[in-house]
């Protein structure tokens, strides 16, 4: 529903909630808030120029307007007042401090003493208000300076250091790329001594997860090769089947690019599932070809007959798998995917797109790869034999 905008005395300000936003943040730390603001503005300007960034804001922008009071210590001492006394009196005049409590038979009642509303409607009225000191009546304006400034929405401190956050709201597919570009640019920024700027924790966790996922993918590929090498009793033909994984990556890249979905952690889980499925198609085809060759058929005839025999089973297996995963994929393509669909949809999309392309390329290109790898194997054996001779 739209908010009414014609309510007298009411100003509306809209903003985004960071809880569900996708983007990259940078945390700047130091002791002087003014220097931090300058550094934050510099970093903000650099982030705005990066492709894929929708908007950039700092933790200073969403704060409310407030009155900054700077007490003149020398003048206050002339009237027998400390800065704390002046601050306490101003807070009492505005009603921001609790006064005392009045005890009644039914309980205690909080009492707050403050200036009348007509005497504190403007900043000038507050500055000209008088209060009693040891040296007589004195105005606030004679003891302190007043100015309106944009206050911080939150005061962040880490390790007793002031912190300002700069957050760039990005497209989901560009988040990691923008973060890496900003990380390299930060190394070129000359920071004053005692000030630091680093990527926020969420991006650091994402980078660590990226490294872990790469290790897992590599381990899965090595494990698949070891298992196939033991099954085929060959070091060459497992490489032939590993080409199916390369074919699958082509399909995954096309699927994610056309839908605009990022390669997140769930999509990487889909890759692990996809590895097992596409490798199985390659194993079925190569194993059948090897059986025909053991029966005495020439390589060319074995490849042709093996492809003809395994065309139907491979296509049926791939088709049923794709159809079974369509309930996960369709919400990502048509309609608003949220909740469970948004969580598991990337897994289904990765498997479907990778399996569809890999199945076709396996049936068309894998026989050629098999022939090339077989020729390479025979050539390597001849080289080894000639070396021994």
CA distance 89 to 87: 5
| Amino acid 16: pLDDT | 44
Q: Give percent of the chain above pLDDT 70.
A: 83
The model's confidence at residue 249, banded by pLDDT at 50, 70 and 90, is very high
| Amino acid 20: pLDDT | 46
The model's confidence at residue 18, banded by pLDDT at 50, 70 and 90, is very low
pLDDT at residue 312 greater than cutoff 90 = yes
Mean pLDDT rounded to a whole number for the chain: 80
Helix ranges (DSSP H) in 50-138: 73-78, 83-94, 123-127
Question: Would you tell me the crossing angle of helices 201-232 and 175-186 to the nearest 10 degrees?
Answer: 120
| Amino acid 247: pLDDT | 92
Higher pLDDT, 333 or 5: 333
DSSP 134-150: TTEEEEGGGTEEEEEEE
Higher pLDDT, 361 or 9: 361
CA distance 41 to 48: 11
CA distance 168 to 357: 36
Q: Give percent of the chain above pLDDT 90.
A: 17
| Amino acid 306: pLDDT | 92
Higher pLDDT, 213 or 338: 213
DSSP 22-60: -EEEEEEEES-HHHHHHHHHHHHHHHHTSTTEEEEEETT
Domains by residue range for the chain, with CATH: 18-61+153-199 (3.30.70.1320), 65-150 (3.30.2090.10), 207-388 (1.20.1640.10)
CA distance 332 to 255: 11
The model's confidence at residue 37, banded by pLDDT at 50, 70 and 90, is confident
Least reliable range by pLDDT among 108-117, 157-166, 297-306, 374-383: 108-117
Here the tokens at position 201 are 């924790």
Least reliable range by pLDDT among 22-36, 60-74, 214-228: 60-74
> For 168-187, how does the pLDDT look when each residue is reduced to its tens digit (9 = 90+)?
887 766 777 787 888 787 77
Here the tokens at position 148 are 């309106």
């Amino acid at each position: 529903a739209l908010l009414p905008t014609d309510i007298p005395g009411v100003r509306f300000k809209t903003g985004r909630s960071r809880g569900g936003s996708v983007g990259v943040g940078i945390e700047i730390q130091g002791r002087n808030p003014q220097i931090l603001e300058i550094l934050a503005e510099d970093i903000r300007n650099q982030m705005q120029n990066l492709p894929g960034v929708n908007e950039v804001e700092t933790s200073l922008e969403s704060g409310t307007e407030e009155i900054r009071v700077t007490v003149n210590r020398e003048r206050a001492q002339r009237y027998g007042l400390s800065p704390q006394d002046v601050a306490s009196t101003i807070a009492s005049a505005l009603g921001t401090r609790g006064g005392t409590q009045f005890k009644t038979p039914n309980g205690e009642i909080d009492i707050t003493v403050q200036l009348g509303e007509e005497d504190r409607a403007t900043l000038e009225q507050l500055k000209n208000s008088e209060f009693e000191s040891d040296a007589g009546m004195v105005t606030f304006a004679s003891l302190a300076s007043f100015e309106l400034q944009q206050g911080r929405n939150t005061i962040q401190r880490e390790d007793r250091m002031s912190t300002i956050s700069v957050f760039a709201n990005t497209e989901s597919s560009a988040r990691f790329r923008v973060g890496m570009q900003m990380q390299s640019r930060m190394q070129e920024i000359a920071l004053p001594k005692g000030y630091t700027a680093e990527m926020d924790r969420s991006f650091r966790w994402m980078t660590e997860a990226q490294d872990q996922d790469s290790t897992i993918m590599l381990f899965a590929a090595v494990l698949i090769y070891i298992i196939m090498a033991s099954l085929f009793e060959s070091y060459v033909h497992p490489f032939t089947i590993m080409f199916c994984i390369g074919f699958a990556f082509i399909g995954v890249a096309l699927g994610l690019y056309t839908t605009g979905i990022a390669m997140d952690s769930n999509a990487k889980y889909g890759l692990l599932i996809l590895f097992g499925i596409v490798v199985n198609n390659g194993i079925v085809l190569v194993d059948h070809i090897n059986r025909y060759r053991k029966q005495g058929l020439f390589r060319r005839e074995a490849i042709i007959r093996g492809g003809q025999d395994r065309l139907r089973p491979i296509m049926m297996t791939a088709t049923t798998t794709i159809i079974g995963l369509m309930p996960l994929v369709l919400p990502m393509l048509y309609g608003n995917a949220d909740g469970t669909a948004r969580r598991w949809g990337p897994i289904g999309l990765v498997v479907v797109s990778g399996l569809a392309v890999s199945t076709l390329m396996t049936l068309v290109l894998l026989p050629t790869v098999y022939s090339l790898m077989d020729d390479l194997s025979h050539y390597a054996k001849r080289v080894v034999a000639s070396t021994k001779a």
